[in-house]
């Protein structure tokens, strides 16, 4: 069972925030009286002055921009980014990130598409969506362009299959997936608790077909470069993987429609 609570000595604002989150997420609010172990819960979403933290037996989950910061710096230096190339991303584009996670890829995409673009990130697990939404709104990366990109991302708690089915055709330029890899490339301490709570449902050809209907230009899937997932999903064009263990399967929707 998961509960919502606060730090040991919360302000009135923190307590109000915790109570509001508990109601929003449909979780019990438990006033903090001592250690988290005394709450009688298997996991706890803790509201602190600085951030939201999910405490689990596997470790803590909290927002941070991860590799987005060095990737943006490289883009500023004119260096390429493999994900940006796989998406064919340009200013003004709209991107639907169907598997938001901690939002690192969405932040890079938001930086590239700029103020005239749009990035919507879907997260199937409500408590994880809440953590990332708060982080994108409040975290200060110490970089104006990165901060503005983070604030522009729209976080939606939704199952991507349901969300895609409800959208009109051609709603976004790019539809993107970064699902939980079948075999993690490198299991960091921070990702272990995330994998406990995250949605592990694999992508299917039906999901890719739904994404193709919604995408105006491309559907892109991130996976290990040696993964059989690309072939299973019918993604025959793979970008990256030469100098990295990560690659991107690309489906060019616009080209397929032109041939039809």
Express each pLDDT in 40-73 by its tens digit: 778 899 999 889 999 888 888 999 998 999 999 9
pTM of structure: 0.92
What topology is assigned to 68-259 in CATH?
Rossmann fold (3.40.50)
Cα 95 from Cα 174, distance rounded (Å):
5
Question: What is the 3-state secondary structure of 69-136?
Answer: HHHHHHHHCCCCCHHHHHHCCCCCCEEEECCCCCCHHHHHHHHHHCCCCEEEEEECCHHHHHHHHHHH
Structure tokens at 222: 């991130």
Structure tokens at 14: 């923190």
Strand order in the sheet with 215-224: 154-157, 118-123, 94-97, 172-177, 215-224, 246-252, 237-240
- DSSP classification of residue 203: P
The predicted pLDDT at position 33 comes to 81
Express each pLDDT in 75-98 by its tens digit: 999 999 999 999 999 999 999 999
The residue ranking higher by pLDDT, 13 or 255, is 13
The predicted pLDDT at position 181 comes to 58
Express each pLDDT in 127-159 by its tens digit: 999 999 999 999 999 999 999 999 999 999 999
Q: What is the DSSP string of 49-87?
A: SS-EEEEETTEEE----TTHHHHHHHHHTT---HHHHHH
Average pLDDT estimate for 157-172: 97
CA-based torsion, 167, 169, 173, 178: positive or negative: positive
Q: Which residue has the tokens 């939201």?
A: 52
Check if the beta carbon of residue 140 is closer than 8 Å to that of residue 147. Answer: yes
Structure tokens at 82: 């493999």
Check if the beta carbon of residue 176 is closer than 8 Å to that of residue 103. Answer: no
The predicted pLDDT at position 21 comes to 96
Domain-wise residue ranges, the chain: 2-49, 68-259
φ/ψ of 112, rounded to 5, equals: -70, -45
């Amino acid at each position: 069972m998961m509960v919502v609570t606060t730090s040991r000595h919360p302000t009135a604002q923190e307590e109000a925030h915790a109570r509001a989150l508990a109601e929003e997420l449909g979780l019990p609010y438990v006033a903090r009286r001592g250690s988290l172990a005394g709450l009688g819960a298997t996991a706890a979403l803790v509201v602190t002055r600085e951030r939201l933290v999910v405490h689990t037996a596997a470790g803590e989950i909290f927002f941070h921009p991860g590799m987005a910061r060095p990737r943006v710096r490289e883009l500023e230096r004119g260096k390429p980014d493999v994900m940006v190339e796989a998406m064919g991303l340009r200013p003004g584009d709209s991107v639907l990130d169907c598997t938001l996670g901690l939002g690192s890829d969405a932040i890079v995409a938001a930086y590239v598409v700029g103020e005239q673009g749009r990035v919507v990130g879907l997260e199937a697990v409500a408590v994880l969506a809440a953590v990332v939404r708060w982080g994108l709104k409040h975290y200060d990366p110490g970089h104006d362009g990165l901060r503005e990109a983070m604030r522009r991302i729209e976080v939606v708690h939704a199952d991507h299959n349901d969300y895609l089915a409800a959208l009109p055709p051609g709603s976004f330029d790019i539809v993107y997936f970064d699902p939980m890899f079948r075999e993690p490339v490198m299991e960091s301490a921070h990702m272990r608790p995330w994998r406990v709570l995250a949605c592990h449902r694999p992508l299917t050809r039906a999901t890719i077909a739904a994404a193709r209907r919604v995408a105006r230009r491309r559907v892109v899937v991130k996976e290990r470069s040696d993964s059989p997932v690309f072939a299973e999903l019918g993604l025959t064009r793979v970008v990256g993987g030469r100098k990295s263990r990560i690659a991107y399967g690309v489906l060019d929707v616009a080209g397929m429609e032109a041939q039809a």
